[in-house]
Structure 1
Amino acid sequence: MRIGPSPRRTQARFSALLSAVLIAGVPATALAGPADRYYERSFVVAAHQRCNLFQPQLAAALNAAAWQARGAALRAGADDRQMAETAARARARAATTPCASGDLKLVKGRVETAFAGWSRTARMVFPGQRADWTADRAAYARPTWRLVQTGRTGASPVSIGVVGGLNRPDQLAAVVSWQGRSRPTGVRLVLRDKTVAPRPWLARELPPVAQRRVFWAAGVTDAEESLLPEGREAAQTWTFPAAAADALSGLDPREVFTVEFVFRDGSATRSVFEAGDFAAGRAFLAMGRV
């Protein structure tokens, strides 16, 4: 077994490293907090999109860093409008910065050098206010959790996230191991509907029914051993359509969503999760397997 730094320590080092690179390379910016870090990272992402500065893997790393900074800024008290304005300012600055600019070349060189080793990082933790997402880019032949958050409904452990393997495309899925009752006949993912309610719902519960969006699981199988909760010998894997993962990525990181289990008698039980840095975790996975 390969032993290396913990995912949390790697994540912290990654964040500090990127900030140091951008502070050193981008002129005339006073970094005062998370919103400023989001501005810096958004600027570099926008500059790359305009000038094609980096290889795809590094571009994906920077995209993950931008999503992560956005989440940190929102958790620090910023709102969606401020984040949109910050991103717009960063794009505007990138649009007026010549691709042959000496400052931009300096940023490009520093980022490439700094991330030469980091690109081989396999695992990372994306902390939230109450729950974390754990991402894993390692290449496994068997299906495994590529991005996961864990919870419970009663005595039954529930995991939600992205499942994938070398011969299996990534897919949003929930795995549950039932304790003391019959299995559900259906599973649904419930979250805020941005088309109806564009503003984040920051209560520790779902918004009113009229403002919710529901995605029903498209299929169910017996969970493979590599996906079982610790100490459990059997579970079910419920898979969701790709649109559900995209909708989850669009939530404010402070919002909650639920995985709800519906039974034959019409009753239901649910497990509550935090949106957190799900989008940043997906961007980290986009760097490819290692």
Structure 2
Amino acid sequence: MIQRTPLTLEGKMRRNYFLLSLPSFLIYSVGVLVPLLIGFYISLTDWNGFSPKMNFIGFENYSSMFTNPRFIHSMGFTVQFVIFNTIIQNALALLLALFIDSGIKAKNFFKTVVFIPCLLSPVLIGYLWSKLFGSIYPEILQSFGFGGNIKLLANPDTVLMGALIVNNWQWIGYWMLIYIAALQAVPGEMYEAAAIEGAGVFQKFIKITLPMIMPAVTVCITAITVGGFQVYDLLITLTGGGPGHASESFIMYVFNQAFASERAAFASANSMVYVLFLLAIASVQITLLKKREVQV
């Protein structure tokens, strides 16, 4: 009869950790890993998304995607959107958080007003702002004698600006609350000691506030970046990808290729490349920002 060696405390902890994480891993596998594997297989075929037949064509979809002008334009628009959106949203959210955390009166009122747009659906916001930009604001400007046909969403050169205005209006309040929570966790004694040493407001921010809230900065920058690369529902109701394809994000481009053009395999190949691209961007961001946290 074989005698089993009793588990050590460390062995029991590892076993318990494995059992506790197993349900989450199974859910993650079914919801993420399995669809990724299926998507990769489909990307190696010529499936149109509807036919029961599919022929294996290897990496032909991957080799042809980079010569597609809409691929290049949609990726360019998305990258521009992400860069400006991440900078503007973080800067304004932090400024609002500093303003509200400074001890102003009615700060709860300001927090509520700024946060309310986060509770609305991006689809609803897209329809609302498309109406505002399309007719209401131009009429208001004309009534004040400015005249001109000022329609941000109807011009390929200004549609990016319009999309940024709407997206930032909706989400700045969310990231503002994260920054407020981080600011409130900074010990007040540190500011008192800095004041005794003669430090000014700017020096306190650079030497104390910013280093202490770097974990929140990491979360906000990474989440806003990834969210920007996934923008779809707002643009589909705000601009529909127009005028022309001027505001077609990459997610919208993939959707159109899969269903409007009936090129599901080609869309899957684009999605696989996009997933790798997002993983690389997120990894670089987290690595660089975490280094900054370690230096604090």
Larger radius of gyration: 2
Q: Which of the pair is proportionally richer in strand?
A: 1
TM-score strictly above 0.5: no
Q: Greater relative contact order (Cα 8 A, min sep 6): structure 1 or 2?
A: 2
Give the TM-score, by structure 2 length: 0.26
Q: Which of the pair is proportionally richer in helix?
A: 2
Give the TM-score, by structure 1 length: 0.26
